[in-house]
Structure 1
Amino acid sequence: MHPPVLDFTPTLPIRDQAALKRGLAEGDVATLLMVLAQYQPDTPLLAACAPYIGSIFEPEKKVPEALADEIRQTLFTLLTQDPPPQATDLDDDTLARLLSVEVGEPVGAEFVPMLKEQMGFDTPEQRSERPGRQAPDDNFKVLVVGAGLTGLLAAIKLDEAGYNFQVIEKNPEVGGTWWENTYPGCAVDTPSHFYSYSFELNPNWSHYTPNGPEFQRYLLAVADKYDLRRHVVFETHVLGFEWDEATNEWEVTLSDAKGERKVRANAVINAHGPVNRWSLPNIPGLDAFAGPVMHTAGWDSSVDLKGKRVAMIGTAASGVQLGAAIAPEVGELTVFQRSRHWVMPNHLQAVPEAVRWAQQHIPGYKEWFRFRAYWFAADGLYENIRIDPNWECEDGASVSAYNEGVRQYCLQNYHAKLKDRPDLLEKLVPDYPVFGKRICMDINWLDTLCRDNVRLEDNTLDHVEEKAIVLKDGSRIEVDVILCATGFDISDMTGGLQIIGRDGRNLKEEWGEDDPRAYLGVTVPGFPNFFLTVGPNSAPNHAGGQNITSETQVHYIMECLEALQANNAAALEPTLEATEAFNAHVDETLKGLIWSHPKAKSYYKNKSGRVFLSSPYKLVDYWGMTREPDLADYRLIKGKARAVA
């Protein structure tokens, strides 16, 4: 399949009335109501429908068909009339009111500025057109590590702002993790219409949660549209960085097929991401197994699984996707569960053709639908992770009334699908609160475990022999192939790179094995002009939203670079005091959130129990914190950039 076409501009009046009727009939009613409100912000249908609009956890709530039909009929008349109607310029108060109706709960005014950007209503700012802006020095060179979701975004923004930059990518194509991961069933577990760039909404997703190849095609389309490959050096590894205080430059060591070489850059944006450093699990005897052994991120498509006896180790995000995809074709599938994971019901599958048409042709539909997806997959879930100190729950299975409601929502799915398998129910249901660690999407996973050719082993694996896996009780399971859905090394945020900053400071030594800290998750004292993405305590683990975090962090990095130009400075780094104050606030806030729960054992925590990965803030709060650098929290190094090789 070819990459999607991203440029769809709806026009009025809509001439294809039959297609419009189908789109209105199958479209999301709450979203259609918002489209209508663009033209009639005071329509009485808002008040009439509001009591019937709820969250995904309230499936019993449904707009009565008579009201839904009135919305459809009114919209049909408006969208086909000639001359076409003019959409109302919604003020912030009106927008907040409409947003609250669309999701059936209050949406505060603080969300409006971010949502106008993220819904695609605001035209993205062009830094190159800012009045009085000092353009970047041609000698100032920026190096970006990685051409995945975040690295491509950085390239777009650097190019638009006129910076001299280059992207270093170890793979032969852009896409990062979505290029690398090709295992069967690979998918995104954030809703399609949310997981994209705010300035490049894709109205043509085939599924509400896209598979990996489809999202990779989206990134390819973005790379094509912005002509990004001309900035990328492919099949080249970054080995490390060293700050040269005499010249205020980073000396960067690269490696490719021809060997090692050095290049220089004034600033580095490390966008290599945390989910590309995989390794096989440390299981005794695994290296002696005679058959194929594959990690999901190192998939070998030449291995034929049809009819084979397959062992799969791991039942987290990649495991539930892989297992459900291969179970129908393998002879036997033995699943080894190392720890339990909550799975969330996933009722959304293929996007009907009529709804895809609506996304493309009905003005505002894709923008309003994106908000609904964002709310129920991200900040609308934030209360779910907040610990209510007055909440009493036996065995600590939940942390608040809201969290208990989500738990019951998930349990209904377990009980419905496993009603005839109490043995599986006993093995699968976790004892920690929902969202205590990464949640998984139930895309046929529980049904898969009920298949006759599938067997679930709960923490019984002892060691591996040449042709079998041996359990703790001594019994042997003969297998032909071992698949490892065992995740990534997240805690080493240096990614194996040697990073030497000012005064010879070694970032790996300062962070230790698994205790990284940074200012706003982006900058680090002693490492001038070194910018992290998905850095310490910046991951949006309360739900989805890495796309927003990437946009937020790249925006902040760009504003730091702009501050250098405006202040005739060569470099900046955060002060130790500002960094310590930020991290103290992070640690204190985390105490009141679900990841600090004693039963929540996850890769979000380091060995000492500190939550080092998760951001304790809503996406909207982090967005607000990163609009521009507070230069009082930074040390500016004066000087001009010189030409670098």
Structure 2
Amino acid sequence: MEKRLMATILAEDQKSFAILPDSPELAKALEEANVPTLLAAYVHLSHDEAFLERFADHIRPAFSYPPTDVPQELADELRAKLRRLLTTGEGVKGTPPSDALLQRIMTVTVGEPVQDEFLELVQDQCGFRPYIDRSKVEGRKAPKADFKVLVIGAGMTGMAAATKLREAGYDFVVIEKNADVGGTWYENRYPGVGVDTPSHFYSFSWEIWPDWQHYHPHGADMQKYMLATADKYDLRRDIRFNTKVEKLVWSDADNKWTVTVQKADGSREDIVVNAVINGHGPVNRYKFPDIPGLNDFAGTLVHTANYPAGLDLKGKRVAVIGTGASSAQLVGAIAPEVGQLTIYQRSKHWVLFNPEIAHEVSEGMRWALANIPSFKEWFRFRVYWSAADGLFSNVLKDPAWEGNMTAVSEGNAMTRQYALDYMHQRFADRPDLIEKLTPDFPIFSKRIILDNGWFDALTRPNVHLEDKGIARILPNGIEAKDGSVFECDVIICATGFNVAKMIGNLTIKGKGGRDLGEEWGEDDPRSYLGMCVPGYPNYFHTVGPNSAPNHAAGQNLISECQVNWIIEALDRVNEAGASAFEVTQEAFEEWNKKVDERMPQMIWTHPLANSYYNNSKGRVFLSWPWRLVDFFNATRAPEEGSYKLLN
């Protein structure tokens, strides 16, 4: 890695520590806040490693049994120590903790070893020491004034790109088809819409929010965060809303892209730029199911991703097609108000119960996140570990595993049993539902569902789960394959997105007239690191092939990492006085060979696994087959020899 990339912005000196008043709010926060996180914040400030070690035998990994058992007297001693430190300043060290101490805090507070390789990721992603702020890198060459970047989309990735391009000094414009920022969270407004990823990790590392109302944000909470972030960083001044990108054409003559956009009034405009960052994401092109008669339905037909405002379902007969994550959220929200509800299940899904998903963040916990130094950063680390890389063992096949065919390792079998036990407990008097809902494939081989009212809804007297399949749609309802008919007023399709056609309806013409749509076809995209394709210089396709973190939470981290790598690629162009960056054919082929060799080790290639991660030929085109920390480390900078610069 080049020396300039080792430049980091150090955490603020703890000499600026501000004493807090000994208030009822502080007392309430210390009582309600997560104890391992209070411990981390205390040791971060005090460097009291001896006290840290007294907790080592009492904190266990997430989902452990028996669970963490910190003695009450030890927890009370921690609260007293932290209270004294915060209200008097006594014991606060004047410097940030060493890397060794940070690592030890991590290990003790999550109850398992955290290796050296995670240090840089945690420093960056938890806000202790951001990896790089290019505006403050000494000796960095400023981008040329006439070098312009166009970003497609103002969702999470587009907003990250806008923030970091501005910080790096690039001239850019963001093209957004909607009327405001947010992407997925602007568009998805169906009842019950929520986020699988815990709130305190699913956010930008440079804007860690203490104000979440729930541990798993509702869709409206997520959009509120996106809007607040856009306000704080004044992002809208570089975004053209209600404008849609239609076509990208590369010019071999001047090494630039001509981007054709359609404006709100229907007119078209060509914008000439040096580089394009495509941040339109894979989950904004929703699809209706291919079922005979669908367009003949005489009632109201909607898709969850285009849910109409003000749709009144009270007392109505409603059919929901699909039983994935969106359906589970929707059904849990609407079941109490509809008259009759029939859910049509095509495939089964594993369901996990996380008690936090419905929990509001208590007043004391929110105060701690907002006011106790380093507390929100350490809580973010704890969430990352338990909801992301700490779960990776679930998706990695154990070659020595000799258990049943519905698991790939001992740990995966234990997670499966946890889910089974929960299902059997919830449906103890409904063996019919257990039979209908129990999958025959390993847990985590397709997207799991977090139960937030789904199981409750299925036991309601006005709800029926139909697993015989749909024969056809009638003008007045749905006919199942067993001949039964459910007459309904509303059909809601919770049938997902066309993820595999990654360029959507865009036309992308590269060098010599190459056509990316033809090369990728309907469902066989390949790239380098989920971003680059030879023959398409200065075109960066974020959240592309084999870059999705399908083992757990982490799309926010992937987006940030890809934006970091892209700006480093553009900096290579700028430093060399070149015009464009292009990944080599050799690097592209070697990368895809590496992915193909790795994938048989992953749960997604299990004989019983099949999901939208796979294309029509069964190839896993979507999933990143390593940990998030591996993606972070792979995207610090373009690897020398993997690219060429065009003059």
- The TM-score range, normalised by the shorter chain, is over 0.9
Which residue among 524, 528, 548 is the counterpart of 1:519?
528
Distance 1:474 1:345, change over 3 A: same
Identity of aligned residues (%): 52
Counterpart-to-counterpart distance in 2, 1:45 and 1:131: 40
Counterpart-to-counterpart distance in 1, 2:124 and 2:139: 24
Q: State the match for 2:21 in structure 1.
A: 15
Aligned partners of 1:38 and 1:88 also within 8 Å: no
Q: Determine if the alignment matches structure 1 residue 381 to structure 2 residue 388.
A: no
Counterpart AA for 1:234: F
Distance 1:458 1:45, change over 3 A: farther
Which residue among 120, 123, 136 is the counterpart of 1:116?
123
Q: Determine if the alignment matches structure 1 residue 584 to structure 2 residue 596.
A: no
Deviation at 1:421, TM superposition (A): 1.1
Counterpart-to-counterpart distance in 2, 1:87 and 1:333: 61
Structure 2: any 5+ residue segments left out of the alignment? 1-13
User: Aligned with 2:492: secondary structure?
Assistant: strand
Q: State the match for 1:208 in structure 2.
A: 215
Aligned partners of 2:148 and 2:275 also within 8 Å: yes
Aligned partners of 1:311 and 1:334 also within 8 Å: yes
Q: State the match for 2:103 in structure 1.
A: 96
Counterpart-to-counterpart distance in 2, 1:328 and 1:505: 53
Counterpart-to-counterpart distance in 2, 1:96 and 1:401: 28
Distance 1:486 1:503, change over 3 A: same
User: Aligned with 2:478: secondary structure?
Assistant: strand
Of the structure 1 ranges 524-533 and 69-78, higher mean CA displacement relative to structure 2 is found in 69-78
Deviation at 1:48, TM superposition (A): 2.6
Q: Determine if the alignment matches structure 1 residue 367 to structure 2 residue 373.
A: no
Within 5 A, what are the aligned runs for 1:487-506? Answer: 487-506=496-515
Distance 1:26 1:137, change over 3 A: same
Deviations 1:313-366 (A, max 9, x none): 111111110000001111111111111111111201110111001101111111
Deviation at 1:452, TM superposition (A): 1.2
Deviation at 1:468, TM superposition (A): 1.6
Counterpart-to-counterpart distance in 2, 1:515 and 1:560: 25
Of the structure 1 ranges 414-423 and 164-173, higher mean CA displacement relative to structure 2 is found in 414-423
Within 5 A, what are the aligned runs for 1:179-258? Answer: 179-256=186-263, 257-258=265-266
Deviations 1:511-545 (A, max 9, x none): 12211111111111000000011010000111010
Which residue among 462, 467, 470 is the counterpart of 1:461?
470
Q: State the match for 1:333 in structure 2.
A: 341
Within 5 A, what are the aligned runs for 1:73-84? Answer: 73-82=80-89
Distance 1:578 1:124, change over 3 A: closer
Counterpart-to-counterpart distance in 2, 1:399 and 1:423: 27
Counterpart-to-counterpart distance in 2, 1:16 and 1:460: 62
Counterpart-to-counterpart distance in 1, 2:556 and 2:73: 38
Structure 1: any 5+ residue segments left out of the alignment? 1-8, 639-645
Counterpart-to-counterpart distance in 2, 1:96 and 1:627: 21
Counterpart AA for 1:227: D
Deviations 1:535-582 (A, max 9, x none): 100001110100000000000000001110111110011111101100
Counterpart-to-counterpart distance in 1, 2:527 and 2:80: 54
Which residue among 112, 115, 132 is the counterpart of 2:139?
132
Which residue among 311, 336, 354 is the counterpart of 1:303?
311
Counterpart-to-counterpart distance in 1, 2:311 and 2:96: 57
The TM-score, its normalising length taken from structure 1, stands at: 0.96
Deviation at 1:21, TM superposition (A): 1.3
Deviation at 1:258, TM superposition (A): 3.7
User: Aligned with 1:591: secondary structure?
Assistant: helix
Which residue among 33, 43, 48 is the counterpart of 1:37?
43
Counterpart-to-counterpart distance in 2, 1:416 and 1:537: 37
Q: Determine if the alignment matches structure 1 residue 635 to structure 2 residue 641.
A: no
Within 5 A, what are the aligned runs for 1:132-151? Answer: 132-151=139-158
Counterpart-to-counterpart distance in 1, 2:593 and 2:100: 35
The TM-score, its normalising length taken from structure 2, stands at: 0.95
Counterpart AA for 1:81: T
Which residue among 254, 267, 270 is the counterpart of 2:275?
267
Counterpart AA for 2:21: R
Q: Determine if the alignment matches structure 1 residue 393 to structure 2 residue 399.
A: no
Counterpart AA for 1:64: P
Counterpart-to-counterpart distance in 1, 2:414 and 2:58: 19
Deviations 1:486-522 (A, max 9, x none): 0000000111211000011110111122111111111
Deviation at 1:42, TM superposition (A): 4.0
Q: Determine if the alignment matches structure 1 residue 416 to structure 2 residue 425.
A: yes
Counterpart-to-counterpart distance in 2, 1:181 and 1:309: 23
Distance 1:16 1:481, change over 3 A: farther
Aligned partners of 1:17 and 1:80 also within 8 Å: no
Counterpart AA for 2:168: A
Aligned partners of 2:55 and 2:70 also within 8 Å: yes
Q: State the match for 1:625 in structure 2.
A: 634
Deviation at 1:159, TM superposition (A): 0.9
Aligned partners of 1:117 and 1:198 also within 8 Å: yes
Counterpart AA for 1:289: F
Q: State the match for 2:452 in structure 1.
A: 443
Q: State the match for 2:3 in structure 1.
A: none
Deviation at 1:459, TM superposition (A): 3.9
Q: State the match for 1:49 in structure 2.
A: 55
Q: Determine if the alignment matches structure 1 residue 477 to structure 2 residue 486.
A: yes
Counterpart AA for 2:196: D
How many residues align? The count is 629
Counterpart AA for 1:263: I
Q: Determine if the alignment matches structure 1 residue 312 to structure 2 residue 320.
A: yes
Counterpart AA for 2:250: W
Of the structure 1 ranges 295-304 and 536-545, higher mean CA displacement relative to structure 2 is found in 295-304
Q: State the match for 2:547 in structure 1.
A: 538
Aligned partners of 2:49 and 2:101 also within 8 Å: no
Counterpart-to-counterpart distance in 1, 2:553 and 2:461: 34
The RMSD of aligned alpha carbons is 1.4
Deviations 1:8-66 (A, max 9, x none): x9963211421111111111111111112113434444333222212331253222222
Q: Determine if the alignment matches structure 1 residue 557 to structure 2 residue 566.
A: yes
Q: State the match for 1:5 in structure 2.
A: none
Counterpart AA for 2:34: D
Of the structure 1 ranges 220-229 and 51-60, higher mean CA displacement relative to structure 2 is found in 51-60
Counterpart AA for 2:328: V
Deviation at 1:261, TM superposition (A): 1.9
Counterpart AA for 2:108: V
Q: State the match for 1:283 in structure 2.
A: 291
Aligned partners of 1:343 and 1:439 also within 8 Å: yes
Deviation at 1:124, TM superposition (A): 5.6
Counterpart AA for 2:643: Y
Counterpart AA for 2:514: R
Aligned partners of 2:532 and 2:540 also within 8 Å: yes
Counterpart AA for 2:262: S
